[in-house]
Every structure is written in C-alpha cells, then in structure tokens.
Structure 1
C-alpha cells in the first residue's frame, strides 16, 4: 500500500462520502472522573483504540496477523514522527478517516466519515474492528465474507485511481482556489481543446469528490 498517504486523507474512491450536512455528533468517549457523563475522546485515545483492536487479532506467541508496520491511519491532520496523526490539533473541515492495514496478508481499508470529529470516526472504526473479531470467534467464514468489501476498497484497482487533488493539480483547502483549479483542468482536458474524453471525465469525477470532501 505504498500509494496510501497518511496525510492528507487518502479516501477509498469506491466508498461514497457522507455529505457534511449529514454528519453527526459521536457518542464515544470515556467517563469523567466524577462518574457523570462522557468526556470527549482525544485523537490519541481513539488512535490507540484502533491499534489495540488490530493487535487483538494476534494471539500471544504467534506471528502478527496485522503487521504493525502495515497500519496507516489516513486523515487531514499533521503527523507525529511515527506517521500516526498527532493529537491536540483543531479538527479539519473534512473529519474523514481511512484505516489501512494487512490482515493475514490481505490489504484492507475501513473508512469512516459519518461523525463530525476525527476522534469519533477513529473510535467508530475501532468498534467495527472489535465487532469483526467477535464475528470471527463465532464463524470465521462470516468474518472473511465481511472483510471482502473492505479488501475491495483497498484493492489496487480501487486505489490505482489518483486522488482528486492530483487530477486538479492543487494542494489548496480553499474552495475558491480548488474551483479555479477545476476550471483550469476542465479547459486543459476538454476534447474540443485537444484533450481526451477520458481525461475530461477524470476531471469531472475529481470535481465531484472535491465538492463532497470540502462540503462545497
């Protein structure tokens, strides 16, 4: 999975984005010291939930089923020295998370962007991993079937498609700057201006992805 970026976000093209207006507040957290209510999870705490859930696939004394160096947590947050998202940052406009890893040699991707905070999307992915482990304990074949869809999201065919920023040739997070980049790419690839229908279609698809990610 050498093409996966830990930052900026590498969202699997095969998974539709959740519109910003449909995102919700998460109910993840930890108990306050007073015992009343929940305290919001930090990115570090949620990140640890993900890595610990993945570690549990491996029984003590066995070879790693999920090699630690195969885990990529992809977000729009700045990174620590170990390549994981750094805690204590303001949430970006796009709170999406993609967790990429190998399970038993098979590339997998579990994405989530239904919550408005990156920490909550990470916690949701951790819960999903725990649910899949429970499924494996009851029926391993069902767990493998459930992971088929996640493997498809991480497949070379899916991930071989360039990120919309690459297609539009922009690193900007400003909607107006992205719109200008789209217009320039649209002109450059238009079949009537010497471009090709394939390149023009890729630009239109990239524009759709950009609008969904930036809530334009």
Structure 2
C-alpha cells in the first residue's frame, strides 16, 4: 500500500473529478423496515461489511486470497476504529466522499465515490460497483480485467501520491518558502472558524507535511 494512502482524512485519487456538494443526492441503499415500507438508513458499519464481503467473494473456495485483508483501506473523513476502519455513529463530515483501495491479484486498485450525501451510501455504492465487476468476471474475465484497468490507474502513485499535496495547497512551486506561504493561506481557509472544517484543516496539515518531506528530499 502506498504510504500516501490514508484511511482518514480522505485520500481522493487525483485522477477522479469530484462531485459538487450541490449535485450530491440521497442514496437508497438501506433496508425495508419491519412493515415492509420505507427504507432504514444504512449505517457505516453495514456498508463497510458489504464492501468487505464482496471483496472476499472474489476468492473462490480453495483459492489463495485474491484480495488480502491487509491491503484494504476505506478512506473517508470519519474517525477510525482501532483496526483502521471508519467508525459508525459519527456526524456526517462536510465531505462524505469515500475511496476504497485494495489489491486484487497483486495489483493496486481504487474505487472512489462521492455522489451521495452520506458516507455510508457512498461506501455501499462502491460495494455495488464491486458486485457488478464480479458478475462481469463470471461472464467475461478479460472484460472485467479491462474494467479494472481504469481503477488501477486511479490508484497509481501518480494519481494518489506525491502530487496530491500540490492540489490541496494550490501551488506548483518547488520553493519551500513559497510553498509555506501557500500552506498558510490554505490552513487559514480550512480553519473551521473561517468557513472550513476539521477534515479540511487536517488535510491541509497532512499536505504540508508531505510537501516538506518531498521538497526536503529533492
């Protein structure tokens, strides 16, 4: 797993555009209530379970694990459990996006989603996408591999690694002093007292740390 991939805050792949907040919609991934009417909202725990279950089903009985559990990262803006997975029962973050990273047959993959207003629904959407890919594999393995090629590109170091901090700090400079100035502007914008959020604030801090690491090593 690339060092730049974090379970929290959200590590969104740079190769995938974001959904505008006003364009996000409510998901319908919940369960019918006892009377058979309406939908109960899906919890993060339930959605997380769906992803883990479908990834596990890529491996047939008797096969070596195709998706080792230690390669799975559910990246969100939620706080984490001790096992590194997002914890249920939290208030929805400002950015409900999700990016699920994993290795399938040794190849790094990433499936992101931020179409829905709730983290749980975005996780569930990824699970549905994975299930569709499993169905595709049953009918045409080569077609499934072709579909996964795009997800592998999203998970590449070029997409999710060194360049990410530049996007967060809004700078293309290689001068550390100029980058520091960009960091100060970004951290001010991201502060909750100035219209930002704790998630954005943490992302800027992480970006500054990555910038110092990269520029200092050049």
Q: Tell me the TM-score normalised to structure 1 length.
A: 0.78
Change (3 A) 1:112 1:175: farther
Deviation at 1:156, TM superposition (A): 1.3
CA deviations 1:12-68 (Å, max 9, x no partner) are 011000000100010110121222121110000000000101000001222110000
Change (3 A) 1:31 1:106: same
Spell out the pairing of 1:59-98 with structure 2 (5 A cutoff).
59-98=60-99
Identify the residue that residue 129 of structure 2 maps to in structure 1.
128
* Alpha-carbon distance in 1 for matches of 2:102, 2:164: 20
Secondary structure class of the residue paired with 2:164: coil
- Residue correspondences, number: 180
Change (3 A) 1:139 1:31: same
Spell out the pairing of 1:1-216 with structure 2 (5 A cutoff).
1=1, 2-160=3-161, 161-163=163-165, 164-165=167-168, 168=183, 170=187, 172-174=190-192, 176=194
Secondary structure class of the residue paired with 1:41: coil
Structure 2 gap ranges (5+):
170-178, 202-214
Secondary structure class of the residue paired with 2:150: helix
Q: Tell me the TM-score normalised to structure 2 length.
A: 0.77
* CA RMSD, 1 decimal: 2.0
Deviation at 1:174, TM superposition (A): 2.7
Which range moves more in the overlay, 34-43 or 111-120?
34-43
CA deviations 1:75-108 (Å, max 9, x no partner) are 0000000000000001101000000000000000
CA deviations 1:157-189 (Å, max 9, x no partner) are 1122233446736494538376xx9xxxxxxxx
